[in-house]
Homo-oligomer: A and B are copies of this chain.
Amino acid sequence: MKKLRKNRRISHVVWLCMGVLLVGAAAAVADEPAPVGEIEAAVEGLQMNMNILWTCIAAFLVFFMQAGFAMVESGFTRAKNAVNIIMKNLMDFSVGSLAFFLVGFGLMFGATNGLFGTTLFGLSGVEPGEDWNWTFLIFQTVFAATAATIVSGAMAERTKFVGYLVYSFFITLLIYPIFGSWAWGSLLDGDGWLEGLGFLDFAGSTVVHSVGGWLALAGAIILGPRLGKYGPDGKPKAILGHNMPLASLGVFILWFGWFGFNPGSTTYADGWIGYIAVTTNLAAAGGAVAATATSWILLKKPDGSMALNGALAGLVSITAPCDGVTPLSAILIGLVGGALVVVSVIFIDRVLKVDDPCGAVSVHGVCGAWGTLSAGLFNMDTGLFYGGGLGQLGVQAVGVLAAFAWAFGLGLVLFWTISKTVGLRVSPEEEMKGLDIGEHGMEAYSGFQIFSNM
């Protein structure tokens, strides 16, 4: 394997070295000096290879977050629906990878018409091989899939599999990439309009997490709550998750993967990786601590689910500002995120009466918005607390509102359309019996004695 490969694949660095050698060849005996241009190119080529290496590894870490989402969501829901939620996570990534490759990537990063990219099948003109664009494609694919998979948590335990597949296809095909093109813009020409305003969202608190979170909100509203979630008096009942160790494993995997998500968004190998890893980790720690404390105060006990969601809340919050704030600001941003997620989960459950089994709307939507706004407060160049005035904060608010309008609005249209065509919700009988049997004809835990309807 390696040898065959090595014969064919001579990287540009090696070519450059060879260039250096050839240039120097005649003079080699006399050991003549190397010209500046060749050396500069060799250094740039080496740095590029390092950037590719880092960006690919970061992409792999972000891919692994899919396992984290699958474990969190199955752990936080009932045993009778565990196969179903895992199938949704597996298939939204699979369908999304294909859709984003074929269309989404071009809409997001292609030559833009002002509103979205128009280079369909984005890499059609790029040769197979070592071009940087392939690395960028795999990195962006796993980001798109993250936005897609957030939604399954809010729609768990009652959504038809086929309806979910249709949703997955459209978010990675259209909804995510078009919004992304506004904030992160084209590879080929001008900025997106949000980017042009100076919108700061380093790794996607808004672009990935809020877009996913607001789509999740739309889905949960269109679906309605699970059977038995709200009593005749309208009071919410707790429907407990079936596997907290699995859910906690999922959170650890997500935290691990976030070291690809945030530091990886440098797409450049230098000391900023370490800096962003520090702010990311401190915010996650702050989120877990604050959610534990907040739940201890509000719910009388340090709640395990809240602590886990608190870590995620800290991570989502720091995703936008991670590169531009001090470590102390990062701790504060995480602490606020962790407290906020507890309050938001309770508010959505008890006041809005929207049934979000895993807290996805609070974690990704609400904390994504907070994190994006926090860049307007704490960014060391332009933030309110650093003498930057209200300008940056205003731009951040524009981005937050644009994401809500776009994702929630289109989400309502999409899920309503699905519900009127292929169908969005399973029958009450199937919901009682569990989607694993109903949708997939199998049980998650064959052999275990499990209480009925769990």
Q: Does A374 contact B (CB under 8 A)?
A: no
What distance in Å separates the Cβ of A20 from its nearest Cβ neighbour in chain B?
A: 5
Residues of B within 8 A of A302 (CB): 87, 161, 439-440
A285 is contacted by which of B35, B97, B445, B449 (Cβ under 8 Å)?
A: B97
**Selected A-B contacts with CB under 8 Å, 28 pairs:** A1-B183, A1-B204, A1-B265, A11-B268, A17-B40, A31-B35, A34-B36, A55-B274, A56-B263, A60-B256, A60-B259, A67-B249, A75-B245, A80-B447, A90-B252, A90-B311, A91-B307, A93-B285, A97-B284, A129-B271, A131-B275, A134-B271, A134-B277, A242-B446, A301-B439, A302-B439, A447-B450, A448-B450
Contact with B along A377-406 (1 / 0, CB 8 A): 000100000000000000000000000000
CA distance A249 to B300 in the complex (A): 33
Known: A303-B442, A448-B242. A35 touches B32 (CB 8 A): yes
Residues of chain B contacted by A34 (CB below 8 angstroms): 33-36, 39-40
A224 interface contact, C-beta 8 A: no
Q: Does A423 contact B (CB under 8 A)?
A: no
Chain B residues positioned under 8 Å from A61 (CB to CB): 60
Question: Are the C-beta atoms of B20 and A36 separated by less than 8 Å?
Answer: yes
In the complex the two chains form, is A277's CB within 8 Å of B43's CB? no
Expressed in whole angstroms, the Cα–Cα distance for A423 and B97 within the complex equals 47
**Interface pair A70/B129, CB less than 8 Å apart:** no
Q: Do B449 and A451 touch across chains, with their CB atoms under 8 A apart?
A: yes
Give Cα A270–Cα B9 distance, bound, in whole angstroms. 9
* Contacting residues of chain A (116-155) with chain B, CB-CB under 8 angstroms: 123, 128-132, 134-138, 141
Q: Which residues of B contact A28 (CB under 8 A)?
A: 36-37
Given A5-B266, A240-B446, A285-B97, the answer on whether A274 and B207 have CB atoms closer than 8 Å is no
Chain B residue at minimal CB-CB distance from A331: B98
* CB–CB B275/A128 < 8 A: yes
Whether A289 contacts B91 in the complex (CB less than 8 A), given A36-B24, A47-B49, A138-B277, comes out as yes
Question: Quick one: given A50-B50, A380-B128, are A64 and B271 in contact (CB under 8 Å)?
Answer: no
A165 to B368, CA, bound (A): 29
**What is the size, in residues, of chain A's interface with B at 8 Å between Cβ atoms?**
161
The answer to the question of A318 belonging to the interface, with a C-beta cut-off of 8 Å to chain B, is no
Query: A97 is contacted by which of B89, B135, B253, B282 (Cβ under 8 Å)?
Result: B282
Contact of B52 with A270 in the complex, beta carbons under 8 Å: yes
Q: Does A432 contact B (CB under 8 A)?
A: no
A66 to B407, CA, bound (A): 35
Contact B46 A50 (CB under 8 A): yes
One of B13, B292, B304 near A43 (C-beta < 8 A) = B13
> Does A167 make an interface contact (CB < 8 A)?
no
Assess the A3–B266 pair: CB atoms within 8 A.
Answer: no
Contact B270 A12 (CB under 8 A): yes
Determine the chain B residues whose CB is within 8 A of the CB of A59 once the complex forms. 259, 277
A313 contacts partner chain B, Cβ-Cβ < 8 Å? no
Is A138's CB under 8 angstroms from B1's CB?
no
User: Does chain B have a CB within 8 A of A101?
Assistant: yes
